[in-house]
Amino acid sequence: MKNLLLWMLAGLMMTACTSQPKSQKKESPKKVLVLYFSVTNTTKQLAEYIQQKTNADIEAIEAVNPYPTDFEGTAARWQEELKANTLPEIKPLKANFDDYDIIFLGYPIWGDRYPLTIKTLIKTGALNGKVVVPFATSGSSSVKQSVVELKKDVPTIQVADAFCVRSALMDKLPIFVDRELISLGLIEGENEVLADFSEMREPTAEEIALFEQSFADYPRMNGTKAASVASRTTSRGTDYKFIGENNGAKMEIYVTKEKGDTAPYFTAVDR
Ligand SMILES: Cc1cc2nc3c(=O)[nH]c(=O)nc-3n(C[C@H](O)[C@H](O)[C@H](O)COP(=O)(O)O)c2cc1C
């Protein structure tokens, strides 16, 4: 707990799906609750991974009237609720939040924010003053905007860390999640100390090709151009931070190319 509190006091918070140097070690056992909302079970999968690794208690946040599981159906219901300014009712939760040192709060990213079920939970006051680690899954977005929103909606919340995993990268959970759990002192291990990214520069033709290949299976990014790039070498390969442009909108796109004959993939987009 000491490390965690020191971290919070120092204002050291991670909000993107990107890797940063961390190397805290496990101290005394902490009581952890993993709380999550999930419509198509992607966030559930991530929640269960965290639960298993940390030996935590786990509970799902469920809408009384469940959301449809197809994208269009969920989006339509969510838009209706936004328009009507109503919040979905959620089933009562069994966990007593005061019993826990840390609450992992998981959700899918909707419109770069968290779903309204999380707003409903916030309205109950259950998160006031709690130490929370938001975690999310998304198609591409980072968790950043939702953390800004969370801190605005619950000013007394203590956000200890935050991370998200793209739904297309669920087979890489140990890579993305273990370092967060190590840095929070929840599991044993030593994190690689990662170098800073280089200065931004014009991308080479090879880097542009790699950039485009990284979202070949994600059509929403089609047409995005790489304006500039920074990179760093890691033990696994090379990380890139591209500044991309699409229809006048600028964004940061994080791409990893692992060593060997592997396809590059993007890990997050900060819009
Ligand atoms: C209504 C709706 C809005 C979404 N908005 C975004 C978004 O803004 N950015 C993004 O990267 N993914 C977005 N997604 C994709 C989900 O975040 C992603 O599929 C997530 O992993 C689903 O989690 P779940 O299976 O736990 O419900 C959206 C999905 C839905 C249904």
Q: Where are the domains of the chain?
A: 2-183, 205-270
Q: Say if ligand 1 is within 6 A of residue 42 CB.
A: yes
Specify the pTM: 0.91
**Contact of 143 with 15, CB cutoff 8 Å:** yes
The bridge status of strand 158-159 relative to strand 237-246 is unpaired
pLDDT per residue over 243-263, tens digit each?
Answer: 999 999 999 999 999 999 999
Asked if the model's pLDDT at residue 24 lies above 90, the reply is no
Q: Say if ligand 1 is within 6 A of residue 45 CB.
A: no
Which superfamily, per CATH, for 2-183? Answer: Flavodoxin domain (3.40.50.360)
The bridge status of strand 249-258 relative to strand 265-270 is antiparallel
pLDDT per residue over 153-163, tens digit each?
Answer: 999 999 999 99
Probe residue for ligand 1, chosen from 109, 117, 163 as the CB with the greatest number of ligand atoms within 8 Å = 109
Q: Say if ligand 1 is within 6 A of residue 141 CB.
A: yes
Token look-up 């838009």 returns: 79
Asked if the model's pLDDT at residue 214 lies above 80, the reply is yes
Q: Measuring from atom 17 of ligand 1, which residue has the nearest CA?
A: 138
**Contact of 107 with 118, CB cutoff 8 Å:** yes
Between residues 30 and 215, the one the model is more confident about: 215
The rounded distance, in Å, linking the Cα atoms of 224 and 245 is: 5
